[in-house]
Amino acid sequence: MAAPRDGRLEAAVLRIDPEAESSRIAAWMREAVRDTFRRRGLVIALSGGVDSSVCAMLAVRALGAGRVFGLMMPERDSSPESRIRAEEVARRLGIESTVEDIAPALEALGCYARRDEAIRRLVPEYGDGWRSKIAIAGGREGTFNYFKLVVRSPAGEDRELRMPLAEYLGVVAATNFKQRVRKTLEYYHADRLNYAVVGTPNRLEYDQGFFVKNGDGAADLKPIAHLYKTQVYSLARHLGVPDEICEAAPTTDTYSLQQGQDEFYFALRYDRMDLALWAFNHGLPADGAADALGISLREAEFVYADIAAKRRATRYLHAAPLMVEPVALP
């Protein structure tokens, strides 16, 4: 859609025809599986969130329920509601699915121990009964982006500390085992069934690099990576994704304290972040976006700068392995 003529931003720019878009994506998925990959179906990890639910519904529309396999992969820090919601999606779609508890694999890899060891360098008493998460800071206020560790003691007392780089990288590296173990299982089932794997990022996540390289970033096809999150919700309602999924705030479901996606990574809540990204992509000046985003011109400029900075910083995540020179394939 073109930029509004008066240079002002409004939510209508993200409106889509959900039926036409669902049909277009489903036809594309069918062609990708049948003609490009020559596989027999699709594996999809169901997180209980809106993105994977929509992808599952599109997969069934593309290939039929008999060619879609759903996976629920909870671990120690997953919320029980996520699994209930994911199971409801699988049940509603009538697809075959299974639960793979990945906690023992993560335990064996030292995911929890390595993460807790990094946290204990900042909070020595951190241990059983404590919970934690990471929150982003900066970006919108004009300061550099940095991360805070939030811990809650067994007594319910919260503490927040700025993370030095080594501890931040240590916690993230350990936590990334979760996405990579899940992807390993998705490909196990895909190989077993001769299926391809669906990746479920929306446009915000894809554009801004909100994924783990070779973890949730790995997939054979990404059917909603061109859609803003607002548009994914539009498809969700149209396709009959359960209300409790459409109404839940997006979370990472990765840390033991509940963590909103905006809190972890994005400068604004998803609906306003969508608009900011759309405006940025369409060359709308920051002053044309600020009102619609409900922020000052200065903050809008910071959000724009943050979008560009995240693109640059996450180029590595998108990059395929580099080669000295191209090698032509037969």
Partner 1 sequence: MGDVIAEVRSFLRDNFMLDDAEIRDEDSFMAGHVLDSTGFIELITFVEERFGVEVADDEMLPENFDSLRNIAGYVERKRGAAAA
CA distance 229 to 269: 11
- Do residues 88 and 240 touch, judged by C-beta distance below 8 A? no
3-state class of 148 per DSSP?
strand
Q: Could you say which of 5, 6, 128, 144 contacts partner 1 (CB under 8 A)?
A: 144
Binding mask 31-60 for partner 1 (x = CB under 8 A): ------------------------------
CA distance 134 to 172: 9
Q: Could you say which of 16, 114, 121, 146 contacts partner 1 (CB under 8 A)?
A: 146
3-state class of 201 per DSSP?
coil
Is 194 a binder of partner 1 (CB under 8 A)? no
Measured from the CB of residue 148, what is the shortest distance to partner 1 in angstroms?
Answer: 9
Is 137 a binder of partner 1 (CB under 8 A)? yes
**Between 141 and 243, whose beta carbon lies closer to partner 1?**
141
Question: How many residues make contact with partner 1 (CB under 8 A)?
Answer: 15
Measured from the CB of residue 34, what is the shortest distance to partner 1 in angstroms?
Answer: 41
**Between 36 and 296, whose beta carbon lies closer to partner 1?**
296
Interface with partner 1 in residues 259-318 (CB under 8 A): 309, 312-313
Interface with partner 1 in residues 147-186 (CB under 8 A): 162, 164-165, 168
Q: Could you say which of 23, 79, 145, 256 contacts partner 1 (CB under 8 A)?
A: 145
In the chain, the N- to C-terminal Cα span, in Å, equals 39
Q: Could you say which of 138, 185, 238, 297 contacts partner 1 (CB under 8 A)?
A: 138
For residue 110, which amino acid is it? Answer: G
- Do residues 183 and 216 touch, judged by C-beta distance below 8 A? yes
Measured from the CB of residue 265, what is the shortest distance to partner 1 in angstroms?
Answer: 12
The DSSP annotation for 20-31 comes to HHHHHHHHHHHH
**Between 5 and 312, whose beta carbon lies closer to partner 1?**
312
Those residues whose C-beta lies under 8 Å from the C-beta of residue 124, and which sit 6 or more positions away, are none
**Between 19 and 141, whose beta carbon lies closer to partner 1?**
141
Q: What DSSP element (H or E) covers 146?
A: strand 146-152
The DSSP annotation for 263-293 comes to HHT-SS-HHHHHHHHHHHHTT--HHHHHHHH
**Between 28 and 146, whose beta carbon lies closer to partner 1?**
146
Measured from the CB of residue 143, what is the shortest distance to partner 1 in angstroms?
Answer: 4
**Between 164 and 242, whose beta carbon lies closer to partner 1?**
164
**Between 18 and 138, whose beta carbon lies closer to partner 1?**
138
3-state class of 44 per DSSP?
strand
Residue from 257, 247, 269 nearest 48 by CA: 247
Q: Show the DSSP H helices in 194-330 as ranges.
A: 203-208, 229-239, 243-247, 261-264, 270-281, 286-293, 297-313, 315-318
The interface region with partner 1, picked from 144-152, 187-195, 243-251, 275-283 by CB under 8 A, is 144-152
Those residues whose C-beta lies under 8 Å from the C-beta of residue 195, and which sit 6 or more positions away, are 39, 40, 41, 42, 43, 67, 69, 189
**Between 265 and 270, whose beta carbon lies closer to partner 1?**
265
Measured from the CB of residue 302, what is the shortest distance to partner 1 in angstroms?
Answer: 11
Residues forming the site for partner 1 (CB under 8 A): 137-138, 141-146, 162, 164-165, 168, 309, 312-313
